[in-house]
Amino acid sequence: MRFLQRSLRPVYAPLLHPKHTARIQLSNATPLPAWTRSFHASASWRALDLAYRLHDHNGDAKGDPIVIIHGLFGSKRNNQSVANAFARILSRPVYAIDTRNHGESPHDTTHNYTALADDVEAFLKKHDLKNATLIGHSMGAKTVMTLALRNPDSCANIIPVDNAPVDAALSSDFPKYAEGMKRVEQAKPKSQKEADKILEPYAKDLPVRQFLLTNLGRPEPSAPLKFRIPIQTLARSLDDMADFPFTNPDEVRFSKRALFIRGTKSPYVSDETLPIIGRFFPRFELVDIDSGHWVISEKPEEFIKAVVNFLQEKE
């Protein structure tokens, strides 16, 4: 197992990196909301009641809660193994959630980071989860960063996995995945094998196809297979998933601990993004794991070790 040493980054980066200042401007981007302590005062949509699974090591996990959030096209099922490990090793209950438009959670035509984070804040309040650690991969990473910056009192610390607080184009794979999933749904396949064959030109790697096809189900006996998630809504939201709702770290900052975990073979957290991470999250630490973007599934043991080491450290 290869585990790369964490390194503490400078408190404030002196300058924004040019890559961050040359931000992607989206013609349909929503205006940036003013920073407030409460999402609900500025949100124009309703927070959705999120589905979740509690991992509490048969009731023995009594510590501060951990909330773990999947990435785009994922679900709470993706994080079962690591959630069980955290509950056992750390004796902390772990809530693996489905975000809006994913898994068993409700669907809504709005799918951006402010709405996603608003849902998570409502989840924390509903379940009275105080002093929580928020872990998120990819889409989930930007969701926990958004919530931490909007409401620093909502959590004790955050662990974003393979994403950075910048506007950056998604890998070209994600539009292909969305297109392939549309093709699958249009074909009304009768079997997983048939669906896999349709999806193969759009997702060459079998593990990725298997991941995407976990969203496929049969609404009723003998009916064609259909995706449980709203593919059209998520496809329309890809630009929003590339965006980040904050642009000025001089106005909003999360001064509690933050652990950024990145895959060294992934493009999403380049060295050029580290200065801006340091300005938004001045106490951030960094762990590099020898993997691609799917850090948790590719290197689960290294991921678990990094999180456990971070959370067992004293403030």
Q: What is the mean pLDDT of residues 21-47?
A: 39
Query: Is residue 1, in this structure, part of any structural domain at all?
Result: no
Q: Are 117 and 150 in contact (CB under 8 A)?
A: yes
Q: Are residues 87 and 186 in the same domain?
A: no
Query: Is residue 3, in this structure, part of any structural domain at all?
Result: no
Q: Are residues 162 and 189 in the same domain?
A: no
> Tell me, what's the pLDDT at 104?
96
CATH number at 88 reads: 3.40.50.1820
pLDDT at 142 over 80: yes
> Tell me, what's the pLDDT at 9?
38
Query: Is residue 33, in this structure, part of any structural domain at all?
Result: no
Domain final residue pick, 216, 236, 256: 236
Domain final residue pick, 236, 261, 283: 236
Q: Are residues 219 and 258 in the same domain?
A: no
pLDDT digits (tens, 9 = 90+) for 252-305: 999 999 999 999 999 999 999 999 999 999 999 999 999 999 999 999 999 999
> Tell me, what's the pLDDT at 169?
73
Q: Are residues 214 and 126 in the same domain?
A: no
pLDDT digits (tens, 9 = 90+) for 70-88: 999 999 999 999 999 999 9
pLDDT at 167 over 60: yes
Query: Is residue 12, in this structure, part of any structural domain at all?
Result: no
Q: Are residues 65 and 138 in the same domain?
A: yes
Q: Are residues 121 and 56 in the same domain?
A: yes
> Tell me, what's the pLDDT at 33?
35
- DSSP characters over the chain: ---PPPEEPPSS-SS--HHHHSPPPPTTPPPPPPP-S-STTT-SSPPP---EEEE-TTTT--SS-EEEE--TT--GGGGHHHHHHHHHHH---EEEEPPTTSTTSPP-S--SHHHHHHHHHHHHHHTT--S-EEEEETHHHHHHHHHHHH-GGG-SEEEEES--SS--PPPTHHHHHHHHHHHHHHH--SSHHHHHHHHTTT--SHHHHHHHHTTEE-SSTTSPPEESS-HHHHHHTHHHHH--S---TTT----S-EEEEEETT-SSS-GGGHHHHHHHSTTEEEEEESS-S-HHHHSHHHHHHHHHHHHHS--
Q: What is the mean pLDDT of residues 173-183?
A: 94
Greater model confidence, 130 or 3: 130
Query: Is residue 27, in this structure, part of any structural domain at all?
Result: no
Query: Is residue 291, in this structure, part of any structural domain at all?
Result: yes
pLDDT at 28 over 60: no
Q: What is the mean pLDDT of residues 29-41?
A: 34
Of 5-14, 21-30, 254-263, least confident by mean pLDDT is 21-30
> Tell me, what's the pLDDT at 113?
97
pLDDT at 251 over 50: yes
Q: What is the mean pLDDT of residues 40-54?
A: 75
Catalytic residues: 138, 293
Range of the domain at 123: 39-167+246-312
Query: Is residue 108, in this structure, part of any structural domain at all?
Result: yes
Query: Is residue 269, in this structure, part of any structural domain at all?
Result: yes
Q: Are residues 194 and 72 in the same domain?
A: no
pLDDT digits (tens, 9 = 90+) for 194-235: 999 999 999 999 999 999 999 999 989 889 999 999 999 999
> Tell me, what's the pLDDT at 26?
27
Domain total in the chain: 2
> Tell me, what's the pLDDT at 168?
83
> Tell me, what's the pLDDT at 314?
65
Q: Are residues 177 and 287 in the same domain?
A: no
Domain final residue pick, 210, 236, 262: 236
Q: Percentage of the chain surpassing pLDDT 90?
A: 81
Q: Are residues 268 and 122 in the same domain?
A: yes
Q: What is the chain's mean pLDDT, rounded?
A: 87
Q: Are residues 148 and 79 in the same domain?
A: yes
pLDDT at 238 over 70: yes
Q: Are residues 57 and 131 in the same domain?
A: yes
Confidence of residue 46 (pLDDT cuts 50, 70, 90): confident
Q: Are residues 154 and 211 in the same domain?
A: no
